[in-house]
């Protein structure tokens, strides 16, 4: 079996899958694939023209799976240990909810609303849209931070007692937020801060994360006055 994960290290969805495979201790290959300016062959593999994609040699050369959620749950079935989805049914449902919330609500607010405004212009040697990003941080992001903060109250992980798809999905989104220079205030959202520290201590997450940090190291970042309490 050869598993190949295609995408870019800056993508939270791509790192979601790398973190999962690292947790499982499975060897895999990585193929650098960008969705931007990709050819028609990419559209055949990924009709939504998004990364990540998974190839699994067990199914032949033409088999390819798009979408981090499809990939994640495919891999849970293929390599079941250690499980990253809860066995308890109630927890399983909650874990799927957090994955969905992270992949849609958080990704659109953080990815489209903040990350792209800071990072994408700089990739074209243009000035980042700091004011536009700050508007989203001061607006929609606060509600997301409050919800995740409250969901982590008195708990180590978002669902049940162990690290799961819920934690990975939420953490990779907050990681992309940190690449813009903004991290939620530890005074105002202490549970998020402690959670991200705990996730960052896991090699499975830290390996891909450190590579992504390097990719954005030389970019201009958001600087927030601590008095703003954001
Ligand atoms: N629901 C998809 C979302 C993937 C996604 O949005 N990937 C971004 C990169 S982080 C992408 O490929 N964007 C291409 C584009 O917007 O043109 C998943 O979970 O894989």
What secondary structure does DSSP assign to 34-56, as a single string? -STT--HHHHHH-TT--S-EEEE
Whether residue 26 contacts residue 84, with contact meaning beta carbons closer than 8 Å, is answered with: no
Q: Which residue in the block uniquely carries the two structure tokens 């030389």?
A: 218
Return the DSSP state at 31: E
CATH 1.20.1050.10 range(s) for the chain read 89-228
Q: Which residue in the block uniquely carries the two structure tokens 């996730």?
A: 199
Q: Order the strands of the 53-56 sheet from edge to edge.
A: 29-32, 3-7, 53-56, 64-66
CATH 3.40.30.10 range(s) for the chain read 3-78
The residue whose CA is least distant from atom 2 of ligand 1 is 67
pLDDT tens digits along 162-175: 999 999 999 999 99
Confidence of residue 24 (pLDDT cuts 50, 70, 90): very high
The residue whose CA is least distant from atom 19 of ligand 1 is 68
What value does the mean pLDDT take over residues 201-207? 98
The binding-site residues of ligand 1, defined as CB within 6 angstroms of any ligand atom, are 11-13, 35, 49-52, 67-69, 103
Q: CB neighbours (10 Å) of residue 112?
A: 11
* Phi, psi angle pair for 5, to nearest 5°: -105, 125
Inform me whether the pLDDT recorded for 226 exceeds 90.
no
Percentage of residues of the chain with pLDDT beyond 70: 100
The architecture of the domain spanning 89-228 is: Up-down Bundle (1.20)
| Atom from ligand 1 closest to the CA of residue 52 | 20
Q: Report yes or no on whether pTM surpasses 0.95.
A: yes
What value does the mean pLDDT take over residues 142-151? 98
What value does the mean pLDDT take over residues 6-22? 98
Bond before 44 cis per omega within 30 degrees: no
Record: fold of 3-78: Glutaredoxin (3.40.30)
| Atom from ligand 1 closest to the CA of residue 66 | 20
């Amino acid at each position: 079996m050869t598993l190949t994960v295609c995408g870019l290290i800056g993508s939270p969805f791509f790192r979601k899958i790398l973190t999962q495979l690292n947790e499982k201790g499975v060897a895999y290959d990585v193929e650098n694939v960008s969705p931007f300016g990709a050819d028609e062959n990419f559209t055949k593999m990924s009709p939504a023209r998004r990364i990540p994609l998974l190839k699994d040699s067990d199914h032949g050369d033409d088999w390819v799976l798009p979408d981090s959620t499809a990939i994640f749950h495919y891999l849970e079935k293929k390599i079941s240990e250690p499980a990253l989805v809860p066995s308890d049914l109630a927890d399983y449902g909650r874990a799927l909810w957090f994955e969905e919330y992270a992949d849609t609500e958080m990704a659109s607010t953080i990815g489209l609303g903040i990350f792209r405004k800071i990072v994408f212009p700089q990739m074209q040697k243009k000035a980042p849209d700091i004011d536009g990003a700050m508007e989203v941080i001061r607006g929609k992001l606060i509600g997301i931070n409050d919800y995740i903060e409250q969901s982590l109250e008195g708990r180590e992980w978002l669902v049940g007692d162990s690290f799961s798809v819920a934690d990975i999905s939420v953490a990779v989104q907050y990681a992309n937020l940190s690449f813009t220079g903004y991290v939620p205030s530890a005074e105002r959202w202490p549970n998020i801060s402690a959670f991200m520290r705990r996730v960052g201590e896991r090699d499975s997450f830290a390996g891909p994360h450190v590579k992504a940090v390097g990719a954005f190291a030389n970019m201009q970042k958001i600087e927030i006055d601590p008095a703003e309490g954001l």
